[in-house]
């Protein structure tokens, strides 16, 4: 495979062979991400079933499964989103496929390390481990802590590789940072129009913000990760607990947030395919993305409201940043998306349905987050199941639906076939119905003060866990049926081949 000179070929159109390679990379990432997601879902159901009293296992295993489930879910969605985004960037500018595979290798190696740390290591202090927890008072062997830390560092390294590649490509494509962020376009729209220049497409904003904030987040994450790895090897090296907490949450919150911004690129490209209308870059869209770029890196402060040692000013900055990171881009994207669909005569295929429903899930999950980011409310809700309610909505009914929507839109376009009405009702009913039961249980439990991260919950936790488990099983059934339907569509001949 020939190497690609980024700067020289920044405008070279992708050939059919290039796009074939790019699609292979995209499907490798997406299938890996969704496979991990499915396995993590099984772990999640096992934990809710245990809380409901359906099965019993050692609390140590509960926390080990919780650790794997948390880090696995976010990494799974990130891998799927990064694959989608890589393909979309490749359509507009050259990228070296080997680097995509290198990043993928880091992700897989990191995931394997994390799995080994849990099976058989029984590592149980989650990815939000708060120093000195992974080192002191543990029930798992020390090697499991080391392998867990190495695994996380490998995932961060893979993410850094991916981000650096995309950043370099976008800078070359748009002539610098100002061009890739649409700054030149926003302040000189007339000049762009007169010169017949195109601003970056909406999906390029998603890619740019992911790349820049990804490098910033990985920097913080690796600083904490290497610091803790050194402490694991050499316990005489002290770590400041508040420093570690800030760095871990800066990376973790940014990474989790970015999964949504990766996946939303699928909406920018997929929804126009369904509606036969273009999703244009506009001034509000560009400015909203700037807000995300700036504020997503400090929004994590809302995880530290209860840390008395954190400066009070920082807490208020965190509250405002949380609003500004999420609200503008949600409003602009969802409003534009709704306008795109309005009176378009779009057929509600599985692809378009998932993309549209994903926007609703994004709004619901985002609203729960904004509530939690409000200091007086946070004090009551943050340590309850309300917060898992928020991020499960965000991931299950936002990021996952965007990813599934993109997968189905691609398969439907390829085969020029949409799923039968009965099957759409079955899949939609099980996925949305199951998710509603599963997610509402979190919110209701959280509002009733049931604490999170506990293997055994006080009332009404177990009763609601029963409802949640039933909901999760229905959701699982829906996802399995959707996966079978996706495989059926993938096996159909390409539209033009069928016509020939």
Partner 1 sequence: MKSRTVAYIVLAVTIVFAIAPTYRGQIELPVRVHHLLHAMVLVLAAFTGLLFARSAAPAKGSRAFWLIVTIVAPMLAMFLMWPSNYSPLDRLPAAHTAEHLGLALLGFLTAYAGQQYATGVGVAMSLSLWAMAFLAAWGFGVSPPLQVQTAAAAPTAAAAANAGTAPDPHHGQAVFSQNCASCHGAQGQGGMGPRLIGESSRKDLMQAEAWIENPQPPMPKLYPGTLSAQDVRDVAAYVETLK
| Residues making contact with partner 1 (CB under 8 A) | 3, 5-7, 96, 98-99, 102, 132, 135-137, 153, 157, 160-161, 164-165, 167-169, 171-172, 176-177, 212, 215-216, 218-220, 222-223, 226-227, 230, 234-244, 247, 309
CA 216 from centre of chain: 16
Q: Closest separation between CB of residue 136 and partner 1, Å?
A: 5
> Quick one: CA dihedral 10, 16, 18, 24, positive or negative?
positive
Name the DSSP class of 13: P
- Complex with partner 1: residue 176 or 429, whichever CB lies closer: 176
- Complex with partner 1: residue 59 or 235, whichever CB lies closer: 235
Q: Closest separation between CB of residue 245 and partner 1, Å?
A: 10
Q: Closest separation between CB of residue 216 and partner 1, Å?
A: 8
Contacts of 152 (CB under 8 A, 6+ apart): 71, 110, 114, 127, 221, 225
Contacts of 346 (CB under 8 A, 6+ apart): 274, 275, 276, 352
- Complex with partner 1: residue 317 or 440, whichever CB lies closer: 317
Q: Closest separation between CB of residue 455 and partner 1, Å?
A: 19
Q: Closest separation between CB of residue 219 and partner 1, Å?
A: 4
- Complex with partner 1: residue 237 or 416, whichever CB lies closer: 237
Axis crossing angle, helix 59-90 with helix 241-275, rounded to the nearest 10:
50
Q: Closest separation between CB of residue 12 and partner 1, Å?
A: 15
- Complex with partner 1: residue 68 or 170, whichever CB lies closer: 170
Q: What is the distance in angstroms between the CA of the first residue and the CA of the last residue of the chain?
A: 31
SS in 3 state form for 425-439?
Answer: HHHHHHHHHHHHHHH
- Complex with partner 1: residue 234 or 312, whichever CB lies closer: 234
- Complex with partner 1: residue 81 or 227, whichever CB lies closer: 227
Q: What is the Cα–Cα distance from 83 to 24, expressed in whole angstroms?
A: 10
- Complex with partner 1: residue 82 or 169, whichever CB lies closer: 169
Q: Closest separation between CB of residue 1 and partner 1, Å?
A: 10
Identify the residue whose tokens are 């990813």.
403
Contacts of 236 (CB under 8 A, 6+ apart): none
Q: What is the Cα–Cα distance from 44 to 87, expressed in whole angstroms?
A: 30
Burial of 14 (0-12, 13-18, 19+ CB in 10 A): middle
- Complex with partner 1: residue 218 or 257, whichever CB lies closer: 218
Q: Which two tokens stand for residue 454?
A: 């506990």
Q: Element (H or E) spanning 177, and its range?
A: helix 177-180
Secondary structure (DSSP) of 143-154: HHHHHHHHHHHH
- Complex with partner 1: residue 132 or 449, whichever CB lies closer: 132
- Complex with partner 1: residue 221 or 434, whichever CB lies closer: 221
Q: Closest separation between CB of residue 313 and partner 1, Å?
A: 17
SS3 133: coil
Burial of 103 (0-12, 13-18, 19+ CB in 10 A): buried
Q: Which two tokens stand for residue 252?
A: 């973790």
How far CA 478 is from CA of 33, 195, 349, in Å, comes to: 18, 50, 16
Q: Which two tokens stand for residue 393?
A: 């909505």
- Complex with partner 1: residue 250 or 336, whichever CB lies closer: 250
- Tell me if 180 sits within 8 A of 200, measured CB to CB: yes
Q: Closest separation between CB of residue 307 and partner 1, Å?
A: 10
The candidate with the shortest Cα–Cα distance to 325, out of 244, 394, 387, is 394
Other CB atoms closer than 10 Å to residue 430's CB: what's the count? 20
């Amino acid at each position: 495979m020939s190497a690609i000179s980024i700067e020289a070929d920044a405008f070279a159109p992708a050939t059919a062979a290039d796009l074939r390679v790019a699609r292979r990379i995209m499907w490798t990432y997406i299938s890996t991400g969704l496979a991990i997601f499915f396995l993590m879902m099984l772990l999640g159901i096992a934990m809710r079933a245990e809380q409901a009293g359906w099965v019993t296992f050692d609390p140590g295993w509960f926390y080990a499964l919780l650790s794997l489930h948390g880090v696995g879910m976010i990494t799974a969605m990130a891998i799927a989103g990064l694959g989608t985004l890589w393909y979309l960037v490749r359509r507009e500018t050259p990228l070296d496929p080997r680097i995509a595979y290198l990043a993928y290798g880091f992700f897989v190696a990191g995931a394997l390390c994390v799995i080994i740390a849990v099976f058989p290591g029984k590592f149980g202090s989650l990815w939000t481990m708060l120093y000195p927890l992974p080192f002191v008072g543990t029930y798992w062997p020390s090697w499991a802590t080391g392998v867990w830390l190495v695994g996380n560092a490998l995932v961060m390294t893979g993410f850094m590789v991916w981000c650096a590649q995309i950043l370099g490509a976008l800078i070359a494509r748009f002539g610098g940072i100002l061009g890739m962020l649409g700054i030149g376009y926003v302040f000189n729209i007339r000049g762009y129009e007169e010169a017949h220049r195109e601003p970056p497409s909406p999906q390029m904003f998603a890619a740019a913000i992911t790349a820049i904030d990804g490098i910033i987040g990985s920097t913080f994450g690796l600083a904490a990760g290497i610091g803790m790895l050194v402490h694991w090897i050499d316990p005489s090296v002290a770590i400041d607990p508040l420093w570690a907490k800030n760095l871990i949450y800066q990376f973790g919150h940014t990474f989790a947030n970015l999964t949504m911004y990766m996946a939303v690129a699928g909406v920018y490209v997929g929804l126009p395919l369904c509606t036969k209308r273009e999703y244009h870059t506009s001034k509000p869209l560009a400015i909203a993305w700037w807000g995300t770029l700036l504020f997503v890196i400090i929004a994590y402060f809302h995880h530290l409201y209860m840390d008395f040692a954190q400066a009070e000013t920082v807490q208020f900055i965190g509250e405002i940043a949380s609003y500004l990171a999420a609200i503008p881009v949600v409003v602009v994207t969802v409003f534009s998306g709704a306008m795109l669909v309005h009176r378009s005569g779009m057929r509600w295929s599985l692809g378009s349905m998932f993309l549209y429903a994903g926007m609703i899930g994004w709004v619901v999950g985002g609203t729960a987050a904004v509530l939690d980011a409000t200091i007086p409310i946070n004090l009551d809700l943050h340590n309850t199941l309300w917060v898992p309610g928020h991020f499960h909505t965000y991931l299950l009914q936002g990021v996952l639906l965007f990813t599934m929507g993109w997968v189905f839109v691609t398969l439907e376009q390829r085969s020029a076939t949409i799923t039968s009405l009965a099957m759409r009702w079955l899949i939609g009913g099980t996925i949305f119905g199951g998710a509603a039961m599963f997610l509402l249980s979190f919110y209701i439990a959280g509002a009733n003060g049931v604490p999170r991260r506990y293997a055994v919950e006080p009332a009404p936790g177990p009763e609601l866990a029963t409802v949640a488990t039933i909901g999760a099983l229905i959701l699982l059934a829906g996802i399995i049926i959707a996966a079978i339907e996706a495989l059926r569509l993938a096996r159909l001949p390409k539209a033009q081949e069928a016509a020939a």
